[in-house]
Amino acid sequence: MENIYNYTLDELGKIVEELGEKKFKANQIYNWLYKKKVKSFDEMTDLKKDFIEVLKNKFVIGSIKIDKKEEDKDVNKYLFKLKDGEYIEAVLMHHDYGESICVSSQIGCNMGCKFCESGRRKKVRNLESGEIVEQILLVEEDVGTRISHVVVMGIGEPFDNYDNIINFIKIINDPKGLEIGIRHITVSTCGLVIKIDSFAKDSGGANLAISLHAPNDKIRSEIMPIDKVYKIKDIMKSIKKYIDESGRRVTFEYVMLDGVNDSHECALELSHLLKGLNCYVNLIPYNETENIGYKRSKIFKIMEFYDILKKNNINVTIRREFGSKISAACGQLRSRKEEA
């Protein structure tokens, strides 16, 4: 049985035709799933009874469920249980501009970033598009409000699950689907360069964020094994091409690790690297976790780093913090569950 949330409207139209029905029935099904948000085929009252039976034999509506929830001011953290007994997480953040959700893209992650909790466990499998869509649907249902912004920055490397991420974007962006504006969708990658090139063509204009975290390969290779495959100059080359072709601004994420990548020299080197590029830098205060030795940079260091970038005309922000009390950072809830 397939999860019906896995399909774009176009794909569902083709399947419906193969099942001997008119293609437009897929619009009706989409309407039930994403506008009326029903959870059973029997509720799809404008479909014929025998077609409903066909659908029931082929599809399930949803396959994940909320296992646990932690709440804090302006942030909810969710642990989901999947059909194979695995766990993933999502975080809902309340901003002035609306509700934003951070979703997971894989179970585990193979990128092995030294500071990251999610990387402590190897990838078990990719998430299906529908399992990513459902993180949004279930959280919306739980809080009773519409989610307007989506970031793919939870557990996993989205570009290591590329096709499903592209389909996920199509499903949630579709006016007949969840209708989340394409400019409100952001995918974050540690820099799988070959996929950066295709993302410009396939994403429909979604935002791209690169987890850079270092201004040179010496530091980057110490904290991010992917640097052994793709060097910073490879990333910069494809990012320049991406910006030229898409006309979009790119975000560079830079997690501030005490004594590792937060010096004056690093800030100057980073300014030099990004000079003249249509981008901005998001400085992320590191969320310390009990299992990993890295420490968060001192706040004055973060401010100094910020000032140097500003002085060098680099657009920069410091990420507002959410949920450090409730282990909202990057795989901590799941780690606790599995190590308990």
**CA–CA gap between residue 113 and residue 91 (Å, rounded):** 20
Span of 40-48, 122-130, 192-200, 282-290 interacting with ligand SAH by CB under 6 A: 282-290
Which of 253, 274, 281, 314 is close enough to bind ligand SAH by CB under 6 A? 253
Q: Please, where are the H alpha helices in the chain? A: 9-18, 25-30, 49-58, 129-143, 162-173, 193-202, 217-223, 232-246, 264-274, 299-311, 332-339
According to the binding rule CB under 6 A, does residue 76 interact with ligand SAH? Answer: no
- Phi, psi of 285, deg, nearest 5: -60, 125
Residue from the set 100, 251, 271, 287 that interacts with ligand SAH by CB under 6 A: 287
CA distances (Å), origin 118, targets 21, 215, 262: 44, 23, 23
Q: Please, which residue, 177 or 331, has the CB nearer to ligand SAH?
A: 331
Which is the catalytic residue, given 102, 109, 113, 330? Answer: 330
Position 207 contacts ligand SAH (CB under 6 A): no
Residue selected from 15, 116, 185, 316 as contacting ligand SAH according to rule CB under 6 A: 116
Smallest gap, in angstroms, from Cβ of residue 174 to ligand SAH?
24
Binding range to ligand SAH, per CB under 6 A, among 47-55, 67-75, 263-271, 280-288: 280-288
Q: Would residue 89 show up in a list of annotated catalytic residues for this protein? A: yes
329 binds ligand SAH (CB under 6 A): yes
Nearer Cβ to ligand SAH, position 27 or 110? 110
Q: What is the C-alpha to C-alpha distance for residues 181 and 185, in angstroms, rounded to an integer?
A: 7
Among 21, 128, 134, 157, interactor with ligand SAH by CB under 6 A? 157
189, 238, 261, 271: which one binds ligand SAH (CB under 6 A): 189
Q: Are 79 and 67 in contact (CB under 8 A)?
A: yes
User: Rounded to whole angstroms, what are the CA distances from 141 to 36, 38, 106, 136, 337?
Assistant: 12, 11, 22, 9, 24
- Write out the two tokens for 261: 């990548």
What are phi and psi for residue 188, nearest 5 degrees? -110, 130
> Does 100 contact ligand SAH by CB under 6 A?
no
- Among residues 26, 196, 267, 284, which is the contact residue for ligand SAH, using CB under 6 A? 284
Q: Is 328 in the site for ligand SAH (CB under 6 A)?
A: no
- Of 67, 63, 85, 51, the residue nearest 4 (C-alpha): 63
Query: How does DSSP assign 71-139, residue by residue?
Result: EETTEEEEEEE-TTS-EEEEEEEEETTEEEEE---EES-SS--TT-SGGGS---EEPPHHHHHHHHHHH
Contact 27, 9 (CB under 8 A): yes
Asked if 306 interacts with ligand SAH (CB under 6 A), we say no
Question: Which one of 15, 26, 61, 190 is in contact with ligand SAH (CB under 6 A)?
Answer: 190
**Residue ranges in 20-39 that form contacts with ligand SAH under rule CB under 6 A:** none
Residue 258 contacts residue 292 (beta carbons within 8 Å): no
Residue 113 annotated in active site: no
Establish if 219 lies at the interface with ligand SAH (CB under 6 A).
Answer: no
- Measured from the CB atom, the residue of 131 and 157 that comes closer to ligand SAH is 157
Out of 30, 286, 305, 322, the only residue in the binding site for ligand SAH (CB under 6 A) is: 286
CA separation for the pair 166, 340 (Å, rounded): 35
Interface residues toward ligand SAH, by CB under 6 A: 111, 113, 115-117, 153, 157, 188-190, 211, 253, 255, 284, 286-287, 289, 329-330
Residues marked active site are found at 89, 330
